[in-house]
Structure 1
């Protein structure tokens, strides 16, 4: 269970540390920085997949994502005078459970010019015990090319010449004595994100799909029918049908098959035939996609939903909230939303963001002493 998230130097986030619960709702006005918190979580997941450098290069490198405001940050309503930067450019991301945490520090390359100038460098990585990367709790430390681990007899060297684009999670996770690296990578790889579920006329979920078991929903929802059928056969039939009945009373899900392919349809009261996937409204299809995402046969450690209320009629807000709360009993869920009604219906741990002088802050938090403990390792 992810308990703490730390972001430093990313877009509108100069420095942010928040605690997460079993169900966390991130809210705030448009432009307050909700999407940046969501993207930062995705970048952390990319660390587990060895994609962090490529993901940052794809959006323009460090210059496109780094904090652009003054180093001292917002003064909540008082104008902040810009100054010449005295410290190094850094993008730092960290996450922690009760037992294990991970922090990465990325910066601008200092080597000779290259065709890959958009690639940032990994300056530091730390795997640590507990909720705060204090020096005493560090288990694995990577500083530039040197990686080492803490053992019973002190520090043990793992690598001496790591490339600046290579992560310890990718390069050294198989080290027989550094089980913490494999555990950290497994944690980050277990997260799922849903923000690109398509419901347009050409959406993959409206097409027939190959009938093969699927334990998790594709990013675009292409395997919707297979995920729902797999969940039903895995023993989640009652939950799937109850979620649909809450949203569309009296309706029944159908998953017709023909020639090794399957699709989604919905029987609704008063209609003489089921409505096939191409006939479903955008809101109905969006809700079915969310049912598949949250009730799939595979239960991930974390599911993050970005504005799941898109395309949904207001009458579907309560059924959606009930679906999310039910999923949070087995899986940690983070919901990013600007709809107050959905946020209120969800309950859970609330993180309300606001923006002052261009900086994303947590509402009601007056100063650094009000935020959870987090000590970034110094370069």
Structure 2
């Protein structure tokens, strides 16, 4: 079996394999759902090929930059992992994953976000990460949000002419992906999350004082019965940005316009005001972690990319001991006379989880680093 990078002209073969594994004939092609994985261009993805050159397994990689205030994390999204049924059980996926992780290291990425938590990933050092609350908004809570809202809001469907205003709202968010209008339009058109849930994609904007103040896109049931999800399945918030009250109103409007008993809204921990509004409306809230898992390529790279968000002289506090493999890596946090040795899970928890058990040893001035929810528009 030959493991190597997928060439641009082979991406259509990769999409066909992914369709065979993941999609039914009547469903939208993976090529359309994940254009940055499968459309021709410079590929970061890897495949397994027979001696005859036939692709029998695929692992997709998309490079991204996550903006966290003045910090920029260089990351990869890893997904669309599939092996033809005839070739399973041959350790191909493990070999592919190893190649993808090496590729991420060579590229200077600090993190690889994986769209799953299979044993394949966990054995290779992937970790759960972050903190997210899941608000279940029902019609009673939606009505409460609408009743409590200040006057002067107008809500309508997003139109193409809104693209610069919406891009600006997303760019102003505390944590998010770097993207321009063209990338945003492509991802909105792809509608990956709605398609996965067998729902429709709807994007709305909230206007006040003549200006677009908030934006939201969600996976919803269609009013004409086109969506094939069960009628009992909730709708799902996918992405939003802008004025907090405006966003809450957009969720309430989505629930009013499109048939569903409730909408699930994944709220990252740093969006405290939005979570407070949803709780006050009566939405039921449960706590969890961010979507999928994450693998840290190199702690020194991660800390350097997070440096604008870390206390001064952070390099005197965080000491990295690079072992020969994931199991040997360790990190010493020093504050005054105290020292704490962490593994990968401990360091990722300290950096990204406000409820980390290591929080008490954090250096003076340290603040938990926010991350966007990973199953939004940029999901792979």
Greater length-normalized contact order (CA 8 Å, ≥ 6 residues apart): 1
Q: Going by fraction, where is helix more abundant, 1 or 2? A: 2
TM-score (norm 1): 0.28
* TM-score after normalising by structure 2: 0.28
